[in-house]
Structure 1
Amino acid sequence: MTPQAGAPPRAARATSAGAPVGIFDGGIGSYDMVGRIREAFPRQDIIYLADRASFPYGALTEDELLVSVTRATEGLVRLGAGSVILASNAPSVTVLDRLQERANVPVLGVKPPVAAALGAVAPGAVVAVAGAGVMIDSEALGHHIAAEALRAGTDPGRVVPVRADALIALVESGAFLTPERVAGPVGEFVEALRREHPRLAAITLSSTHLPWLAAEFARVAPDVQLFDPADEVVREFAALVPQPEAAGDLVGGHLTCVATASAKHTLAEFQAMIDTLGLGIRPTLITL
């Protein structure tokens, strides 16, 4: 029987050892995080939410972002999530602290791994933080870069924030699945960075969409190191996973996909993206 719009689906059940983790953002980008968690913790139940009713996050103010991500987090908890991953860099950088204060479950976010990148490149080399404009232009990102540079013991001036909205759009539209539509924009993006910053040595892919383009980045710039913010989240999530002796109680890696929708961004549109990517999942429409 097909659930009605707004009716909660039969979500992955919590077990004696651990509840499902909810993973969400406003679009298809967060599925990369779903894949990372499934690979690292194959027996972990996951509720994957595409909050299309709030898409695109990049068009929202910080206050609007906080309202949206709070609503999504609370919705995932109602569906049974015992922890939540906000799989979007922009709200993670700008409002994660306030979200964590409101939530009654652990909430992890994805932030540019600036310290890791600075520590991996030569002294004086430049690290670019690529992401959505709402994050790149925020004061919060400046504070994050300063803190990360301090942690790495180096000059924050070596870190260059750069808008990558056009590349993010390639993923969200599905255009990235056609190689010839990706090669030019990614190459031009990297070359523009090199012209302005000849000592470019690393790029943090600080939008959950950008890791989908990692292979093309590596092809056009094999000498530039790429850093995925999801790596740190996977490490942090390990602390929330049941200990090995209790792992046998886990149900076994069920994935439940839910989505919100709007007149502009419909469930059919999202299903078409999923089908194009060959993910083999069918989202249930809900309201939050």
Structure 2
Amino acid sequence: MHRPIAVFDAGLGSYSAVELLHRRLPDRDIVYLADRASFPYGAKDRAELLKVVSRAVEFLAGYQPSAILLASNAPSVTILDDLQSPVPIFGVRPPVRAALAVADEVAVLGVHSLVQSPEMREFLRAQAGSAAERIHAVNASPLVELVESGDFLFRREYTAQLVSEFLDDLLAAHPRIDAVTLSSTHLPWLRAYFERAHPELRLFDPIEDVVDRIRPLSTSGGGAVLGLVTENERYPASEFRSMLARLGIDLEMHPVVMP
């Protein structure tokens, strides 16, 4: 592989970043690491999260990447600035300013541990400034589970109903919301359901901006994607392969052990 873009997370959602990178930059090589041995990132305290994410960054640096993408919103908000990396490292953070520029009020959707964290509150205040009252951090963990479970593929009517009810409740509580940030890498998998339920909402995917920032740093290769997965007794590599298969993703995942 020639100076690949390295992408990692502890779960399935980060593959949406791989897919977008591969679509927008088809000649770039990509190393994709699913760190299932450390799943879930979002449930870890700051010290533990910094330890496991730093280990993954150090491991991926061995592939001589042009850039590393931490494709997980929770650690991107909480510890990204504390990471040390020999190459440029990027995260995915809620595109609050872009959303505020076109919306009256904005819903930032993420997992419970992220939207309730003090780091998220500080990030939103810093991004929104005097417009902070126009931002609503919303727990979207039930929607994330639709992706982790595969329900959004195999129980489509159920998924459509759950997404519709979620958005109906959100808009009933905050009727001026007209933009939503998909601040979990799982949520872009549900984009079509969002658009059908409430087509008037503007949807913002944090990864799209990151791809544009990585582009000038990356170099052409053969367009290959190398899949790597860590595992433990609770989250074996075979389970992750099955999850990818359910999504129709044909990618060989090679088990690895990080120091």
Does 2:25 match 1:45? no
Correspondence for 1:240 among 217, 220, 232: 217
- Counterpart for residue 187 of structure 1: 164
TM-superposed CA distance for 1:276, in Å, is 1.1
Does 2:235 match 1:258? no
Percent identical: 43
Residue identity matched to 2:102: A
- Counterpart for residue 182 of structure 2: 205
Q: In 2, distance between residues paired with 1:181 and 1:258?
A: 32
Q: Deviations over 1:116-170 (max 9, x none)?
A: 111012xxx21000001121111221222122213xxx51110000011111111
Correspondence for 1:113 among 95, 104, 121: 95
Larger Rg: 1 or 2?
A: 1
TM-score relative to the length of structure 1: 0.86
Correspondence for 2:105 among 121, 126, 140: 126
TM-superposed CA distance for 1:187, in Å, is 1.2
Q: In 1, distance between residues paired with 2:50 and 2:216?
A: 25
- Counterpart for residue 277 of structure 1: 247
Count of matched residue positions in the alignment of Structure 1 and Structure 2: 257
RMSD (Å) for aligned C-alpha atoms: 1.2
Correspondence for 1:226 among 167, 189, 203: 203
Residue identity matched to 1:213: L
Runs ≥4 residues deviating over 6 A? none
Residue range with higher mean Cα deviation, 135-144 or 48-57: 135-144
Gaps spanning 5+ residues in structure 1: where?
Answer: 1-12, 243-249
Q: In 2, distance between residues paired with 1:62 and 1:133?
A: 15
TM-superposed CA distance for 1:252, in Å, is 1.4
What SS does the aligned partner of 1:257 have?
A: strand
What SS does the aligned partner of 2:181 have?
A: strand
Q: In 1, distance between residues paired with 2:175 and 2:67?
A: 42
What SS does the aligned partner of 1:155 have?
A: helix
- Counterpart for residue 104 of structure 1: 86
Correspondence for 2:50 among 51, 54, 66: 66
- Counterpart for residue 196 of structure 1: 173
TM-score relative to the length of structure 2: 0.96
Q: In 1, distance between residues paired with 2:119 and 2:170?
A: 23
- Counterpart for residue 133 of structure 2: 157
Residue identity matched to 1:232: D
TM-superposed CA distance for 1:80, in Å, is 3.2
